[in-house]
Structure 1
Amino acid sequence: MRGYKGVIFVITGILMWVSAIGVNAQVLSDESLKFSQVLNWVDRYYVDSINKSDLVENAIIDMLRSLDPHSTYMSKDEVKEMTEPLQGNFEGIGISFNILNDTIFVINPIPGGPSEKVGIKAGDRIVFIDGENVGGIGIKNSDVFAKLRGDKGTKVNVSIHRRLVDELLDFTITRDKIPIFSLDASYMINDDIGYIKINRFAITTMSEFDDALADLTKKGARDLILDLSGNGGGYLDVAIKLADQFLEDSKMIVYTKGEKHPQRKYMSSSRGEFEKGRVVVLIDEGSASASEIVAGAIQDWDRGIIVGRRSFGKGLVQNPMLLFDSSMVRLTIARYYTPSGRLIQKPYDEGFEAYSKDLLNRINNGELSSADSILFPESMKYQTLVSRRTVYGGGGIMPDYFVPIDTSYLSDYYRKLISRGIMNTFILNYVDNNRKKLHNKYEQIGSFIANFEITDDLMSDLTEFADKEGLALVKDDLALSEENIKLVMKSYIARDLWNTNEFYQVINKNNHSLLKAIEVLEKNELYQAALQN
């Protein structure tokens, strides 16, 4: 009888889903009964014991995968993990941390969060959590999350080891909602150009963007570089609101259309805060979905120019549908089209495996290194809506100015310094040992950028540390990568002294797409030439 009830739940879930999307329930109920009958036989007669829940989940996963690459099933836990970053907050104590030498090391308390309020500082080591030793036991990031996160209003006791303090410091921290920021950086490039980098389109994105834009405008920004490189997307309505900031009233931003989903147009309003200044949008192969909606609208209306590399090409509309057990199906119901009619979604008719290898194929075909490697058939040509210049469909947004990916500095030694966490650990220790001296010498990021240098002695210390960690120095690799290693080291130091905003102010010195955007804005003839094709 227990197995029979399980089948009823499965059928009910399917019927609720069918009803929700208005499909003929009678037709699908026959198929549902067929599936439940097989499941019942497997449960009753199969030679070995089975996990029926796993069987059902795997069947759902395989069914959805056969439809398209982005229709998916998510467990209850996966739903929570997915929505937290987009909701803009989680509940916990509010620290960023790293595990170094089997010790929980506080990188920074989140400003205004519960840890900062009780006096937790960057560089503190967490030794006990609720009386349980957490040092030297092989603790993992997931274990730390489990111990420190919890419902708002609940308390957690931590014991801290702080440099130059002999005894442990005990803190009782009351958990609260912790903001997750979607804006990585916002600063002035020069007297006229502002820069904003957004990492995803979340609930808080527009309030963060509005504050950043107001601050940059106050500082004199007349032109804006909007960095959406690596931005995998997020909420559609947030993308529409962001595009609306740059477009005049009654301009189409995007439209959606599907077999069972009538065409729907999303229009701009008269509330845009940056409708006049010049705009450059940075994209790359990691820019997807909502990022492509913004870039496509700005390009199609000749409102600004796009710099970088062809974007990912994710233009399928997923409708999230909750099942009775709080798991979720994200079902594709429509496709996104830019105002000129370009389909954002890249082809997926060759199957899931081929689709998943698209980026690898782009690399092998030379697309990330040369725009000439990208061939567009005549059928993929479209025209912008003002200048009538040629733009291309067929999947993703093609930039107006192509910037090849820079791999000239990459070496095996450099990759391992980063991927093994060796450089990060070295810099965390360096900043921890020199924090006060560095802050006294460099009170502001501008002074740090202008005057701080990675010395030969510090480079030697890094290579010696790496050697102790099992990474032997390869001199040819170091010669190839040294300048970029120094830049990354300096950016890590800036991050650990201040935050991600300062990190990007340093690391962006070698961002070729950003450098091209600056050149285009400083040489207006380049900007205008792109808009006139």
Structure 2
Amino acid sequence: MKKIIIILFAAIAAAGVSAQKSGNAMRISPAQKLGFVEQIIEQYYVDTINANNVVDEAIVAMLRTLDPHSTYSDPEATRALTEPLQGNFSGIGIQFNMLDDTIRVIQTVAGGPSEKVGVLAGDRIMSANDTLLSGVKLPQADAIRHLRGPKGSEVDIKVLRRGVADTISFRIIRDDIPTYSVSSAYMVDPSTGYIKVTLFGETTAHEVRDAIARLRGQGMKQLILDLEDNGGGYLGAAVELAGMFLDKDDLIVYTDGIHTEPYFYRNPERGIMPDGRVVVTVNQYSASASEILSGAIQDNDRGVVVGRRTFGKGLVQRPFPFPDGSMIRLTTARYYTPSGRSIQKPYTAGEEDEYNADMMKRYKAGEFMSADSVHFADSLRRETIRLHRPVYGGGGIMPDAFVPIDTAYYSDYYRNLVARGILNRYCISYIDDHREQLKADYHDEDSFMKGFAVTDAMMEALVALGTREGVEFNKEQYDVSEPVIRVIVKALIGRDLFEQSTYYRIANPLNPIYRRAVDIINSTADYTTILPEQKI
């Protein structure tokens, strides 16, 4: 013990640390204490340890005592978190699926590295730089690591192609590959546009602006903005996107914290779509930046919010990167909607499991089935800016028009097909076997939507695949879910044949939130009942 005490005093002296003595105890800062603990463990622990792992775990444990959204990520996890938000990554430019332990190319990125050298949809990638990728039960994350790499670096791949006996070799020079936050944009009807935003990244505002211009060119006068399942992203992207629909100087959001001054985000200029009906769709998985945008639209009485109560994340995280590529995302402020609402749902510091269980509690309480199951205290009541409609804080954005979950067609048999990946696997195999014929029959998305139908023979093949993979056939449940299965199969085939937007064009009518949004935006009575002074 005496030796340890001497080491501690030596460490203090070496670091030039001043310490105050109080009786027989010496006061040191929490940071100094952590440093001493790390030194003691390294020098005296019984077994060999990885000091980096010990420190990483200590950081995670510290942040866990603060709030549910202050987090630490190691370098690899940090890259995985930031890449989707940055708008690009470096790779070979393919969309692929893992099927039967093999990478199957679904599409090549237009103008990307793989397309330039001649890689085709349907090719099976067998190896990369002499590392076998097929038949070795490689996790998808590991496959991605072999294909991605720094811009300008080379990767040699070998592929199998239908109709070609031997493998084909390609040398690909990696390049920046764009990632998109607008996954779908199309015309619902001659005057109604639809845009789905999946995250808020560096390019989101630019993508939405382009989508609005493109849809206006097709006759759009009103817009459905889909934020369902959008977990958020950059605050700045949400502010810029909200501003597109607001007037100059309209308040979008403000932030405040103990160590930060209140900051008010006002629209710097009149938006590109300040008039015309707007419906924003949300659900229980819409969070953070999605709540900033939907809250700004609702509080400014600019549009109608449709769906279910959002997640309830009203905390702002600031990234603090470390030189090794790891990062802390520390909560530094709360955000408030224009009416003064805090959207953050209640939490107890350190009770992460309880916080994460909130969604299941909401489900069991019947909230996803009935708006009457949601209760707000009167103290949380605020009013919208122009129409003085009542709105409530303290736990997500409550939509103007509530839409319950529709479970009528979703049997256990259907859920098992989805959970085991049977639908995806069947559609990939179907396209693989019929790609040339499909391309000959359907030259574009519109012709596919009008002309392609899922046949009874296809459904029988799907059921047979499910049976082989352990999904027991249930005739009664199959009959209940058959209409949904047919639509989803067509949507998945359309997606892989054309683009992601094709999937939503086909599958969206199954979504009750989408259907309600279409009804409201096209009904003067419904829309103006919610926003009676809205310009239309």
Q: TM-score, normalised by structure 2?
A: 0.92
Write the letter of the residue equivalent to 1:288.
Answer: A
Are the counterparts in 2 of residues 301 and 386 from structure 1 also a CA contact under 8 Å? yes
What amino acid is aligned across from residue 225 of structure 2 in structure 1?
A: L
Task: Return the alpha-carbon distance in structure 1 between the equivalents of residues 483 and 378 of structure 2.
Answer: 43
Q: Is the 1:125–1:161 Cα contact (8 Å) retained in structure 2?
A: yes
- SS in structure 1 at match of 2:382: strand
Q: In the alignment, residue 513 of structure 1 is paired with which amino acid?
A: I
The letter for the 2-side match of 1:496 is: D
Measure the CA separation in 2 of the matches of 1:327 and 1:144: 22
Map 1:95-174 onto structure 2 (within 5 A).
Answer: 95-174=94-173
Instruction: Say which is worse superposed, 35-44 or 510-519, in terms of deviation.
Output: 35-44
State the partner residue of 1:237. Answer: 236
Q: Which residue of 2 aligns with 1:40?
A: 39
Matches within 5 A, 1:6-17: none
- SS of aligned partner of 2:37: helix
The amino acid across from 2:381 in the alignment is: K
For the Cα contact (< 8 Å) 1:103–1:126, is it kept in 2?
A: yes
Which residue identity is paired with 1:292?
E
Shift of 1:60: 1.5
- Alpha-carbon separation, structure 1, partners of 2:468 and 2:327: 47
Aligned residue number for residue 195 of structure 2? 196
1:527 aligns with 2:536: no
Do residues 463 (structure 1) and 476 (structure 2) align?
Answer: no
Cα distance in 1 between the residues matched to 2:431 and 2:462: 13
Contact 1:389 1:531 in 2 (8 A): no
SS at match of 2:29: helix
1:186: which partner in 2?
A: 185
- The 1:35/1:430 distance shift into structure 2, 3 A limit, reads same
Residue 412 of structure 1: how far off its partner (Å): 2.3
Deviations 1:475-512 (A, max 9, x none): 22212211111111111110111010101101102111
SS in 2 for 1:293: helix
Deviation at 1:324, TM superposition (A): 4.1
- 1:381 corresponds to which residue? 381
Query: Residues 98-497 of structure 1 correspond to what in structure 2 (within 5 A)?
Result: 98-349=97-348, 351-497=351-497
- The DSSP-based 3-state class of the residue aligned with 1:189 is strand
Q: How far apart are the structure 1 equivalents of 2:270 and 2:90?
A: 33
Query: 1:441-482: CA deviations, max 9, x gaps?
Result: 222322322332212111111111222222221222212211
Q: Deviations over 1:79-117 (max 9, x none)?
A: 111111111111110111112112211011112211112
Q: What SS is found at the alignment partner of 1:480?
A: helix
Q: Which residue of 2 aligns with 1:84?
A: 83
One-letter identity of the residue aligned with 1:471: V
Query: How far does residue 360 in structure 1 lie from its aligned partner after superposition?
Result: 0.5
Q: Secondary structure at the match of 1:202?
A: coil
Quote the Cα distance in structure 1 between the aligned partners of 2:509 and 2:451.
14
Contact kept? 1:389, 1:532, Cα under 8 Å: no
Aligned to 2:189, the other structure's residue is in SS state coil
Q: Specify the SS of the correspondent of 2:517.
A: helix
Q: Deviations over 1:422-444 (max 9, x none)?
A: 21111111111112222222223
Q: Secondary structure at the match of 2:453?
A: coil
Q: Deviations over 1:137-196 (max 9, x none)?
A: 222212221211111111112222222223332222111001111110000000000000
Please state whether the residue corresponding to 2:483 is helix, strand or coil: helix
After TM superposition, the structure 1 stretch with the greater mean CA deviation from structure 2, 185-194 or 74-83, is 74-83
Q: Compared with structure 1, are the counterparts of its residues 376 and 250 closer, same or farther at alpha carbon in structure 2 (3 Å cutoff)?
A: same
Please name the residue that 1:518 is paired with.
Answer: 518
List 4+ stretches of structure 1 deviating above 6 A.
Answer: none
Corresponding letter in the other structure for 2:222: D
1:520 and 1:526 in contact (8 A); partners too = yes
Q: 1:30-69, aligned counterparts within 5 Å?
A: 30-69=29-68
Q: For 2:359, what is the secondary structure of its paired residue?
A: helix
1:478 maps to a residue whose letter is Y
- How far apart, in 1, do the equivalents of 2:496 and 2:42 lie? 55
Unaligned runs of 5+ in 2: 1-6, 16-25
State the Cα distance separating 1:29 from its structure 2 match. Answer: 6.1
Q: Summarize the Cα distance change of 1:139–1:41 in structure 2 as closer, same or farther, 3 Å threshold.
A: closer
- Counterpart of 1:388 in structure 2: which amino acid? H
Give distance in 1, aligned partners of 2:262 and 2:249.
17
Separation of aligned partners in 2, 1:497 and 1:30: 61
After TM superposition, give the deviation of residue 201 of structure 1 in Å. 0.5
2:315, 2:297 → 1: CA distance?
Answer: 20
Residues of 1 paired with 2:433 and 2:139: CA distance? 24
Amino acid at match of 1:242: L
Report the CA distance between 1:271 and its aligned residue.
Answer: 4.2
**Separation (CA, whole Å) in 1 of partners of 2:70 and 2:130:** 45
Alignment of 1:10-29 (within 5 A): none
Name the % identity.
Answer: 45
Structure 2: distance between partners of 1:484 and 1:29? 64
Q: Give SS of 1:63's match.
A: helix
Q: Distance in 2 between matches of 1:102 and 1:498?
A: 24
Report SS of the residue matched to 2:205.
Answer: helix
5+ residue gaps, structure 1, are 13-26
Size of the aligned set, in residue pairs, is 514
Preserved CA contact (<8 Å) 1:313 1:346:
yes
Partner Cα separation in structure 2 for residue 159 and residue 40 of structure 1 = 49
**Alpha-carbon contact 1:196-1:225 (below 8 Å) kept:** yes
Higher mean C-alpha displacement, 289-298 vs 125-134: 125-134
